């Protein structure tokens, strides 16, 4: 007669008290999840004169998303406000940059070159570059509302006492 393995169900499992489970769970490290009310927002001002557009936009998007804070979370807008001045003096490499927009009607696609858009609405160049580096959802639209772009050196946000923000990005010589 062949020996069969003994069934495992007759061995009693060790019992763990609820008190022990509570104590162990209190000792474990918990991951902090920020709430919308926990976020403290600051105001920063960036001078875009002679800065490369793409590098400026990526750094500004990082601040708007809150990636520079230890409490950053993907489901909460933890970013700060950013004011960009001198957006008309931002540097762009290349010659064939084209911006598209659509009216919503059939045949309503309009294309516009960089220099034409710079003459008409210079702050739109920076705003579009930053928008392309933010999430494409409700949270991204909320983050974009914290971006204030001005073509000249003046801005109406003096009451927020913004801090000067400088980046370690190489300036482009033209």
Span 56-69, mean pLDDT? 96
Cα-only R_g, the chain: 27
User: Domain range spanning residue 68?
Assistant: 42-164
What pLDDT sits at residue 42? Answer: 96
Are 83 and 155 within 8 A, CB to CB? yes
What pLDDT sits at residue 13? Answer: 58
Q: What is the pLDDT of residues 102-154, one digit of tens each?
A: 999 999 999 999 999 999 999 999 999 999 999 999 999 999 999 999 999 99
133: which residues sit within 8 A by CB, 6+ positions away? 57, 58, 61
Evaluate whether residue 88 is within a structural domain: yes
CA dist list (Å): 100 to 27, 60, 103, 111: 56, 23, 10, 4
Span of 24-38, 74-88, 101-115, 130-144 with lowest mean pLDDT: 24-38
Looking at residue 57, which CATH number applies to its domain? 3.90.1180.10
Q: What is the pTM of this model?
A: 0.79
Are 58 and 68 within 8 A, CB to CB? no
């Amino acid at each position: 007669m062949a020996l069969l393995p003994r069934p495992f169900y007759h061995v009693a499992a060790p019992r763990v008290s609820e008190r022990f489970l509570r104590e162990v769970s209190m000792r474990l490290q918990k991951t902090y999840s920020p709430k919308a009310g926990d976020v403290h927002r600051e105001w920063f001002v960036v001078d875009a004169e002679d800065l490369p557009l793409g590098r400026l936009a990526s750094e500004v998007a990082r601040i708007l998303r809150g990636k520079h804070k230890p409490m950053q979370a993907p489901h909460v807008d933890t970013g700060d406000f950013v004011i960009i001045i001198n957006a008309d003096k931002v540097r762009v490499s290349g010659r064939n940059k084209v911006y598209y927009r659509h009216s919503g009607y059939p045949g309503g696609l309009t294309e516009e070159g960089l220099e034409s858009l710079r003459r008409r609405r210079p702050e739109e160049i920076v705003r579009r570059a930053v928008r392309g580096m933010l999430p494409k959802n409700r949270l991204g639209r909320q983050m974009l509302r914290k971006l204030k772009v001005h073509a000249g050196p003046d801005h109406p946000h003096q009451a927020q006492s913004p801090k000067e923000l400088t980046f370690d990005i190489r300036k482009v010589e033209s």
